[in-house]
Structure 1
């Protein structure tokens, strides 16, 4: 029994209540029992931000909706987001200026969220500086366990490219926020490593969980049960991946990687980890690289193709067959973002759902991979950030409008008092229909 904890029933629960066991501490989702403490001044529904990066641009004519404002209709590639049509915004006509002297693919990735204007080369020719996610994390982290999470689904074992092709988060010029790629490592970082004799994190904290459950009302008991089920689900996915990985390794001494073989499952378990970290307020800022730029290694898109495909090479292959394959890859990636929105919408907080209190951004640092175009970058945002960002709008901009205008607007929405960001020329009015 955990003798260091006072009875849950003796007081209103703090938002920082943890379930504890041998060597681990697990935060809780928002429960009604926390309301009295929040009314007394504890934080209510913090803002959360996440950026999801996809490489090599998109097939533009299948991506961009034809109509603008609130009358827009889902394009073929965006069909997986049909359920969330009124919870998202689509931005088209946003650009970035390429700085010559560095790789076009490398700069597309590493400078997507950079705070350095293209005229500055602070990192060996690359215009990188502190990225937007890190700037916002410093503002809103609120003493969370992790100021930010940086994750990547780049499981390629060959080092074909440099860090600039797979890094979107930077502490400063040249200082990459190295992303974690193994779901097991991310899980251990969030919750600590339980007693090795225990097969499950939940086994370690279950005694504390049962004590808490006895003090809760029916609604909170149901929420706690759903939360514990979601943690168990992530554990089981990782354990399943480890079992498969162990079978592939010749040496029984090699620690299993914990990376699922199925591409979609790999991405989804990373999304699950971000969602749980947001729900428990372990972090409020996250980035996820779905795949690095240019990495010319074929990969399997399970459930989409019967054989591995080279995403980058397809962008430089002419013909309808290559274009159709690219569109299917784009739609596959969008479907993983739709899964993220489902998870965020399914989890509650004091102001409603996690999606309501968040701003999730999905996009690429390249517009059209076939011509290495930095114009018309594909960008989607989801969530209304406590009503600060009205949704259901297709914002289309004429002329050259820097994507940094959107980043500046996001920084201001996070409460950062700043008048410019990178090469921004102004802000985007997130509350109104677009200028054209």
Structure 2
């Protein structure tokens, strides 16, 4: 039987689609690249690091509270760390611990769903999925003109996951998830193998080939548009948005092609870590790539999801692999046995040690403007206080000394304070003149930001 005029050659189209999807997914940024490679002042950078499933919070009446409560004891400058965050003691002057903040539209959600909204403040209530742009992408729109890449989105699992259980922190202006990357060698080769000479010629040839692929798929897509039904047109439009982003990044790469990369040493990098064998090595290798990205100024906006919500993905087994526990992370968070709080606290402690490692690297790694941490804001945290309570987010803000950020305290904010107020203050501190973000009511009422 002959093929009808409205039937699509799925194999041919998906072949082109598949090749194009192998390219990095980059959001089109409105501002053109200006004075490529030039830098007149210290860069301001923004970074977000996420962990799932909330934290251990033993009641004050429980003997484990003083040892394994995630939040410190006391408030202000005289707070005392419990065992959980004790690895951050050496960073006390560079960090602020915050409690009480949350996203109003997520407060009544089952906690795991709130992970989708950590950087968006979007609305996932009811049957609709009304997510919106994430704060990192707002920053990327303003800062992309300075760097080779608008942003770097990493996770331990890669991709986007699915609605309510995403594997990325970043969302585009339409509230759609942006795929994250997780294969270290591929990340290194994609973002750092940009030298001159023969490498530059090969890179130019590669970019030309990528552009040809994009052009072919765009041409096919325009023909397809006339032959699709309403629902298929919506799907194609969504795909075209991502494809246009790829094309924009190809153009950016061409403009930066003849700008030498900053010199760097990569001998220490582990580009083949295995998350199913050694999670600490895997996470720290991810942090090493992020630090290298800051040092070479390839981008000034980064996100890293250390693990996914609800026992999904590689991160569920990290407690077993790293600490020898007999339960996964999500299982620990629901456990009610005698050693419940010690087990949960010890894993929270392990996660905090990885974040502390990241801060160590940023304090000891310098560019021409000094330690990287002094010109970088880094927010570490989760979208739940405990497993299913999307309130009182556990948060640690670090860095930004040269931006006037005042650290050294544990601050408990009012339980009704929108987390988006923190994002407005962070963006303003970065020199990004926004008055609101998502459901913010203004700047965060605090002395942290001068």
Cα distance, 1:375–1:338 mapped onto 2, change above 3 Å: same
Equivalence for 1:146: 149
Q: 2:308 aligns with which of 288, 292, 310?
A: 292
Matched-pair contact (CA < 8 Å) for 2:98–2:410: yes
The 1:160–1:362 alpha-carbon spacing in structure 2 relative to 1, beyond 3 Å, is closer
The Cα RMSD (Å) is 3.1
Q: CA deviation at 1:349?
A: 2.5
Where do 1:1-400 residues align within 5 Å? 42-61=39-58, 62-99=69-106, 104-114=110-120, 116=122, 118=123, 125-154=128-157, 162=163, 164-192=165-193, 227-228=264-265, 231-234=266-269, 237-239=270-272, 241=273, 261-296=277-312, 298-301=316-319, 304-307=322-325, 309-369=327-387, 372-400=388-416
Aligned in 2, Cα 1:381/1:431: closer, same or farther, shift over 3 Å?
A: same
* Superposed displacement of residue 160, structure 1: 8.6
Shift of 1:260: 7.1
1:108: Cα distance to partner? 1.5
Q: Which structure is higher in strand share?
A: 1
Q: Distance in 2 between matches of 1:177 and 1:119?
A: 17
The residue aligned with 1:36 is none
Greater Cα offset, 308-317 or 265-274: 308-317
Greater helix fraction, Structure 1 or Structure 2:
2
8 Å Cα contact 2:420/2:437 also seen in 1: yes
* Contact 1:109/1:166, CA 8 A, preserved across alignment: no
Change (3 A) 1:76 1:100: closer
How many Å separate the matches in 2 of 1:137 and 1:380?
A: 22
Q: How far is 1:126 from its partner? A: 2.5
Change (3 A) 1:351 1:67: farther
Q: Report how far residue 350 of structure 1 moved.
A: 3.1
With over 3 angstroms needed to count, the CA separation of the structure-2 counterparts of 1:155 and 1:417, relative to structure 1, is closer
The alignment of Structure 1 onto Structure 2 pairs a total of residues equal to 338
Runs in 1 of length 4+ with deviation above 6 angstroms? none
Cα distance between partner residues in 2 of 1:359 and 1:164: 26
Deviation at 1:268, TM superposition (A): 0.3
Q: Quick check: 2:184–2:286 contact (8 Å CA) kept in 1?
A: yes
Measured after TM superposition, the shift of residue 125 of structure 1 is 1.9
Q: What do the CA deviations read for 1:211-261 (whole angstroms, capped 9, x no partner)?
A: xxxxxxxxxxxx97xx42xx1111xx225x4xxxxxxxxxxxxxxxx7673
Distance 1:149 1:392, change over 3 A: same
CA distance in 2 between partners of 1:357 and 1:300 (Å):
31
Q: Does the 8 Å CA contact 2:49/2:306 hold for their aligned counterparts? A: yes
- Closer, same or farther: CA 285–305 of 1 in aligned 2, 3 Å: same
TM (norm. structure 1) is: 0.70
Superposed displacement of residue 182, structure 1: 0.8
Cα 1:387–1:166 change in 2 (3 A) is same
Structure 2: which 5+ residue stretches go unaligned? 1-37, 59-68, 200-261
Q: CA deviation at 1:429?
A: 4.4
Q: Provide the C-alpha distance between the structure 2 equivalents of 1:194 and 1:432, rounded to a whole number of angstroms.
A: 41
Q: Check the 8 A contact 1:140/1:284 in 2, yes or no.
A: yes
- How many Å apart are 1:279 and its aligned residue? 0.5
CA drift of 1:45 comes to 2.0
- Mean alpha-carbon deviation: is it higher for 41-50 or for 70-79? 41-50
Closer/same/farther in 2, CA of residues 89 and 76 from structure 1, 3 Å limit? same
* Separation (CA, whole Å) in 2 of partners of 1:137 and 1:232: 29
